[in-house]
């Protein structure tokens, strides 16, 4: 380790325990933001708080006052009741850091400490973005609206990954996370007596038919190179066993790795719902929430990130794993405005059970904190040099 001293590592672990014990849901990260500010204060790093509500942005000046290299961490927890038995388990009922964002926040604070202690400033200014509300996919957009990446030339984000051991990182080219769009379909029929369905238009029947057809939309198009998923997660209808439902509401999510496929599915869902409703004399209306795009890692910046991993973590530190992640991550919103790369930091804990992210028993190996901070510090410095060498 060049940047992360044992003292910094100890402080990162203590911060992680504190954040884990006091998790906060999206847009409610007040205590978390306070902890971030306190730590930055203690280490003499300047910052702005209250960005988009609870976001915090720290700025480390560079040798020259050029374009900015940014690193981003998310701070929110999930509505999950923790069941890990950890000594620092959540004290906030029904809320848990089940995705490792407590780790991400600690890692970025470790970077802040390392840069604050550095013998000389980085080649270009480094900005640390502590972002709220990643899990609901609105935090990144809000941080962007507040102008936090206007002067950013390059940005990096990282997620802990319990599929790989500590010391390894995943730095892949191309699409590494899917786009995500949420849809809501309201079916309106005509209510009536359950004994005389011929007098009514059954919204449940129409809704079931639509839900079944939506599953078919991706089955034909799904290939290894172009995966996409349409899932209906909510179906609400009906008021009584002897009343035919007048309305039914279906809500679901589209995940796609390819932008053309994303648009095709958007359109196909609308058409499918309309056609089926018409066939049964019903009416549908459809709403789409403003979604988030896929993350696409650019080859030349991936090369920089890979070289940096080899020099800072060791030449065998990169895992070559095929890209199959169908989850979405709102880091993609930053990449609509600037260049960057999203990496994964190995955090597999051999001793613990390997509970998946978002589960009540999720945990990770805290050795990943020092590795993640070491890597991101090196990456921000290397990126500054890289940008400088190529001219601004």
Select 179 or 272, whichever has its Cβ closest to Zn ion.
179
Longest C-alpha distance within the chain, in Å? 82
| Minimum separation from the CB atom of position 79 to Zn ion (A) | 11
* Surface-to-core class of residue 230, CB atoms within 10 Å of its CB (0-12 exposed, 13-18 middle, 19+ buried): buried
The residues assigned a catalytic role are 76, 134
The helix/strand/coil state of 45 is coil
Q: Which is nearer to Zn ion, 36 or 99 (CB)?
A: 99
Closer residue to Zn ion (CB): 55 or 122 = 55
Q: How far is the CB of 300 from Zn ion (least distance, A)?
A: 26
Pick out residues in 239-278 that bind Zn ion (CB under 5 A): none
Backbone angles phi, psi at 308, to 5 degrees: -65, -40
Minimal distance in Å, beta carbon 99 to Zn ion?
Answer: 3
State the minimum distance, in angstroms, from the CB of residue 210 to Zn ion.
Answer: 28
- Cα separation, 304 vs 291, in Å, equals 29
Count of residues engaged in binding Zn ion, rule: CB under 5 A: 1
Considering the complex, state which of residue 125 and residue 157 has its C-beta at the smaller distance from Zn ion: 157
User: Which strand ranges, in their side-by-side order, compose the sheet holding 247-256?
Assistant: 228-237, 247-256, 179-188, 283-288
Helix (H, G, I), strand (E, B) or coil at 275: helix
Encoded tokens for 380: 């921000």
Question: HSE-up of 337 (CA within 13 Å, CB side)?
Answer: 18
Q: Is 140 in the site for Zn ion (CB under 5 A)?
A: no
For residue 99, the tally of other CB atoms under 10 A from its CB is 22
Identify residues 321-340 at the interface with Zn ion (CB under 5 A).
none
From 336, 325, 71, 344, select the one nearest 175 (Cα to Cα).
325
| H or E, element range at 142 | helix 139-145
Q: Sort residue 238 into left (φ over 0), alpha (ψ -120 to 50) or beta.
A: left
Closest separation in Å from C-beta 357 to Zn ion: 6
Q: Write the DSSP assignment of 26-65 as a string of letters.
A: TT--HHHHHHHHHHHHHTT-EEEEEETTTEEEEEE--SS-
| Among candidate residues 151, 131, 150, 152, the one with its CA nearest the CA of residue 142 | 131
Instruction: Give the number of other CB atoms < 10 A from CB of residue 390.
Output: 8
Q: Which is nearer to Zn ion, 246 or 329 (CB)?
A: 329
Q: Select 62 or 291, whichever has its Cβ closest to Zn ion.
A: 291
Residue 116 phi, psi (nearest 5): -65, -35
Residue ranges in 90-109 that form contacts with Zn ion under rule CB under 5 A? 99
CB of 160 to Zn ion, least distance (A): 8
Helices (H) and strands (E) in the chain, counts: 8, 15
- Other Cβ atoms less than 10 A from the Cβ of 286: the count is 15
As measured in angstroms, the least distance from the Cβ of 34 to Zn ion is 21
99 or 128, CB closer to Zn ion?
99
**Binding residues for Zn ion, per CB under 5 A?**
99
């Amino acid at each position: 380790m060049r940047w992360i001293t044992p003292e910094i590592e100890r402080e990162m672990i203590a911060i992680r325990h504190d954040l884990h014990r006091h998790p906060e849901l999206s847009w409610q990260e007040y205590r978390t933001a306070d902890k971030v500010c306190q730590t930055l204060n203690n280490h003499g790093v300047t910052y702005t708080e209250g960005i988009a509500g609870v976001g915090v942005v720290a700025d480390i000046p560079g040798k020259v006052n050029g374009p900015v290299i940014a690193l981003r961490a998310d701070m929110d927890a999930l509505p999950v009741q923790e069941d890990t038995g950890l000594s620092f388990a959540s004290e906030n009922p029904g809320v848990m850091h089940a995705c490792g964002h407590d780790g991400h926040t600690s890692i970025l604070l470790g970077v802040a400490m390392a840069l604050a202690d550095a013998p000389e400033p980085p080649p270009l200014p480094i900005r640390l973005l502590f972002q709220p509300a990643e899990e609901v996919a609105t935090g990144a957009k809000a941080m962007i609206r507040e102008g936090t990446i206007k002067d950013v030339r390059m940005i990096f984000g990282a997620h802990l990954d319990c599929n790989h051991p500590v010391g390894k990182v995943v730095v892949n080219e191309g699409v590494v996370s899917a786009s995500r769009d949420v849809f809501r379909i309201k079916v309106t029929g005509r209510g009536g007596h359950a004994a005389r369905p011929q007098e009514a238009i059954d919204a449940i029947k129409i809704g079931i038919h639509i839900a079944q057809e939506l599953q078919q939309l991706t089955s034909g198009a799904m290939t290894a190179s172009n995966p996409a998923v349409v899932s209906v997660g909510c179906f609400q209808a009906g008021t009584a066993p002897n009343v035919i439902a007048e309305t039914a509401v279906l809500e679901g999510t589209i995940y796609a790795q390819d932008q053309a496929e994303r648009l095709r599915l958007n359109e196909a869902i609308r058409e499918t719902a309309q056609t089926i409703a018409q066939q049964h004399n019903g009416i549908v209306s459809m709403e789409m929430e403003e979604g988030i795009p896929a993350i696409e890692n650019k080859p030349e910046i991936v090369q920089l990130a890979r070289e940096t991993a080899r020099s800072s973590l060791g030449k065998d530190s990169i895992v070559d794993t095929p890209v199959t992640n169908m989850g979405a991550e709102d880091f993609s919103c930053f990449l609509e405005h600037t260049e960057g790369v999203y990496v994964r930091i190995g955090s597999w804990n051999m001793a613990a059970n390997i509970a998946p992210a978002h589960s009540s028993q999720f945990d990770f190996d805290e050795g990943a904190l020092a590795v993640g901070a070491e890597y991101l510090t090196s990456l921000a410095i290397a990126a500054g040099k890289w940008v400088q060498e190529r001219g601004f």
